[in-house]
């Protein structure tokens, strides 16, 4: 396997082996989901009045990013994955890249500007496949059932719950700031 990684390596691409299949897979799927929330911050920022010094306030995106990593940790642990995947390239690294651009962050940007998921899918992103949203809609019932059963700690997943509500109920994404950083 290491020989395959060596063969695929370039000056800018460095594949790495991981024994944590579960953690890597959960990170790969849910980074798209959480990138929607990070993208929300950019759209919300567009609606705000310009500051006197014309500085951009990226604190909201940073806090959402941190909460996304905390919640990704909860999801990975609950399914038997390891912290290494969440804090490494499969989790934090890939979420960072995904949140910078792409369909998931564009959806979030539209939500941050006040559109709902359906308005975005029927309008500016008509015909686009948005993996994070499709994942959220697909697993919403399962995640909610796990929270109800106590398999997942609902208090540790406020961003997840808010995203699921926005995607499945076609409501505004209401970021639950006061619930952030309570546990993980």
Q: Is the pTM of the predicted complex or chain greater than 0.85?
A: yes
Fold of the domain spanning 20-179:
1.10.1040
31 is a catalytic site residue: yes
Over residues 43-88, the pLDDT tens digits come to 998 877 666 665 567 888 999 999 999 999 999 999 999 999 999 9
Q: Residue 23 has which token pair? A: 């953690």
Over residues 4-18, the pLDDT tens digits come to 878 888 888 777 788
| From 31, 47, 121, 126, the catalytic residue | 31
- Long-range contacts of 145-153, Cβ-Cβ distance < 8 Å, separation of 24 or more: 146/78, 151/78, 152/74, 152/75, 152/78, 153/74, 153/183
């Amino acid at each position: 396997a290491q020989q395959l990684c060596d063969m695929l390596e370039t000056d800018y691409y460095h594949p790495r082996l991981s024994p944590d299949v579960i953690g890597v897979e959960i990170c790969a799927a849910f980074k798209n989901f959480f990138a929607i929330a990070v993208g929300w911050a950019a759209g919300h920022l567009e609606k705000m009045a310009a500051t006197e010094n014309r500085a951009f306030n990226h604190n909201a995106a940073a806090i959402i990013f941190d909460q996304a990593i905390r919640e990704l940790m909860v999801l990975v642990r609950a399914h038997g994955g390891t912290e290494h995947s969440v804090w490494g390239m499969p989790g934090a690294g890939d979420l960072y890249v995904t949140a910078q651009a792409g369909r998931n962050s564009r959806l979030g940007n539209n939500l941050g500007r006040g559109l709902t998921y359906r308005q975005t899918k029927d309008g500016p992103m008509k015909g686009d496949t948005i993996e994070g949203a499709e994942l959220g809609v697909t697993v919403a019932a399962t995640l909610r059932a796990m929270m109800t059963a106590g398999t997942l700690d609902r208090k540790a997943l406020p961003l997840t719950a808010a995203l699921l509500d926005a995607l499945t109920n076609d409501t505004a994404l209401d970021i639950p700031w006061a619930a952030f950083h309570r546990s993980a």
